[in-house]
Structure 1
Amino acid sequence: MNAPLIRLGRAGSFALLLFLPLPIVVIGATSFAAAGYLRFPPGELSLRWYAEAATDPRWIEAFATSLAIAAVVAVLVTAIAFAGAYACHRLRPRWLPAFELAIMSPLFFPHAALGVALVNVLAMAGYLGTATGIVIAHVVCTLPFAWRPIVVALQRIDGEIVEAASLLGADERRIALGIALPLARSGLVTALLFSFIISFDEVTVTMFLTGPQVTTLPVQIYAFIQENASPVLAAISTATVVVTLLVVMLLERLIGLEFFVAHDPA
């Protein structure tokens, strides 16, 4: 009786899986077009636009800036998330649900509103239009994505190991750095890589914070596309997608993605 509905659901799911990557496929094919405009099908193939992107100082500088900011943010937010998650895991304060809600709050607010709020805060601190200001903003935006896998990893640590270390005279610092840190490495790597990807691709909040001296690759792409629809944008976008895909594949290969989506143990 339900067989037609099941088949329809499967067909719809399959069609959705084919449709979702379609824009990426179109952009990837367009990036190899020899013509001086966006064209699909690409016709004659060429690496002209990849060569242009690799030799243009604007793109090189923006890419290097995004790479450096994402690396710093990934390390900082992973360290902050581990320190906070470990303290909450050990102390289990009564206000923990409210604290975790505050940690996750950047996911609930529109990034445009978050960008406006950060403009005011960073302007008062004197960091508006600087790389430091962008790093601070990205730490706020990526903290929820680092928090979750680290919390799950800490909850999977056998409590008897920690108790035995305490009985043998280990202080809290030794337990945190010598036991919890190594045993939670899977969650730490997951947090590190996810934070890097999100920071590298962040554009909405970053648009409010860039200045004449610093801009990131996504913001540079957004500014360039308003003036010129050159296929070089397709080449840069394709390269960015490939880098992101490689990082996700590395994460799945080394750790797996379950730390990001797993439920808390009962």
Structure 2
Amino acid sequence: MTTRAIAIAVLLFLPLPIVIVVLSSFTSAGYLSFPIKGVSLRWYAEFLGSADWLKVLGTSALLALIGALVSTAASFAAAWAVVRHEMRFGTTYETILLTPLIFPHAAIGVIMIVTLSGLGWLGTFTGLILVHCILTIPYAYRPVVAALRKADPALEEAAASLGARPWRTFWLVSLPAVRPGLVTSLLFSFIISFDEVTVTMFLVGPFVMTLPVQVFSEVLESASPIIAAVSAALVLFTSLMVFVLDKVIGIQFFVERD
């Protein structure tokens, strides 16, 4: 088998589970099955008509949005200090920022139970925001620092030499130069936060629940086809987000340039 044939086979295999889940969401049976038994929109209607499901969806979306904004802003500030101001011990600082990638998420969950309990934030939305920011900062930092290192500081020096004030130079020169990194950071942080389940399972409470944890609980308890409908809706949402991103900003910003 040629390399080309192997590559095609892999590319066809990767989306296969998604296709099966999407098709399973249209089953008329009361349980997950494939091939499906009859075609029905019953499970989509139950998902969209359920106040509980919509509530956890809204919670996850708001949590991911706030977490992405905070993580991106914090990552930009950190990257600016490391790259533009050549902060001492910058390598050590970067290593500390990336430590959430090193530790197992189960261990982080246990650590955060103790930490949030001491702060009185266990089982609260505030506590989840703090944890999700910690988890997403590594994914937010790398694109921003890479874009900042690629940006030519001579442009900022030229703007300053022409009489531009520091804030104007930052707004009109520095920020647009790192826009690809900021957009990538926001997108990755949002997706990572929205999909996070391992650590969040330790920290949700009776009044705060996220969509991934709710789906995981439903899989353990009933494996209802509504889970497939929720998953299919999330796939559609992600596809639409990428489409809008392409139309508004342009996917070409994610491509490396010489």
CA deviations 1:126-160 (Å, max 9, x no partner) are 11100111111110111111111111221222221
Match of 1:110 in 2: 104
Shift of 1:170: 5.3
In the superposition, relative to structure 1, how do residues 172 and 102 fare at CA in structure 2: closer, same or farther (>3 Å)? Answer: farther
**Percent of matched pairs sharing the same residue:** 47
CA deviations 1:246-265 (Å, max 9, x no partner) are 32344455343775x859x9
From 60, 79, 83, the counterpart of 2:77: 83
Match of 2:231 in 1: 237
1:93 matched to 2:87? The reply is yes
The aligned amino acid for 1:121 is: T
Structure 1: how far apart are the matches of 2:150 and 2:245? 19
Structure 2: how far apart are the matches of 1:181 and 1:172? 12
Task: Tell me, yes or no, if the aligned pair for 1:86 and 1:176 is still in contact at 8 Å.
Answer: no
Structure 2: how far apart are the matches of 1:257 and 1:182? 15
1:44 matched to 2:38? The reply is yes
1:27 matched to 2:21? The reply is yes
Structure 2: how far apart are the matches of 1:108 and 1:171? 41
Match of 1:3 in 2: none
Unaligned runs of 5+ in 1: 1-6
The aligned amino acid for 1:136 is: L
Structure 2: how far apart are the matches of 1:30 and 1:41? 7
Structure 2: how far apart are the matches of 1:144 and 1:175? 27
Match of 1:4 in 2: none
Number of aligned positions between the proteins: 257
Structure 1: how far apart are the matches of 2:203 and 2:168? 39
Unaligned runs of 5+ in 2: none
1:256 matched to 2:251? The reply is yes
Task: Tell me, yes or no, if the aligned pair for 2:26 and 2:229 is still in contact at 8 Å.
Answer: yes
Match of 2:47 in 1: 53
Q: TM-score, normalised by structure 1?
A: 0.88
* 3-state SS in 2 of match to 1:226: helix
Structure 2: how far apart are the matches of 1:94 and 1:86? 13
Task: Tell me, yes or no, if the aligned pair for 1:193 and 1:251 is still in contact at 8 Å.
Answer: no
Shift of 1:171: 6.0
Structure 1: how far apart are the matches of 2:169 and 2:104? 39
* 3-state SS in 1 of match to 2:203: coil
Shift of 1:96: 1.4
Task: Tell me, yes or no, if the aligned pair for 2:81 and 2:87 is still in contact at 8 Å.
Answer: no
Q: TM-score, normalised by structure 2?
A: 0.91
Task: Tell me, yes or no, if the aligned pair for 1:107 and 1:144 is still in contact at 8 Å.
Answer: yes
From 197, 202, 218, the counterpart of 2:196: 202
Task: Note the aligned Cα RMSD (angstroms).
Answer: 2.1
Structure 2: how far apart are the matches of 1:12 and 1:104? 34
Structure 1: how far apart are the matches of 2:111 and 2:6? 41
In the superposition, relative to structure 1, how do residues 168 and 193 fare at CA in structure 2: closer, same or farther (>3 Å)? Answer: same
In the superposition, relative to structure 1, how do residues 238 and 52 fare at CA in structure 2: closer, same or farther (>3 Å)? Answer: same
Structure 2: how far apart are the matches of 1:84 and 1:55? 43
Structure 1: how far apart are the matches of 2:241 and 2:101? 22
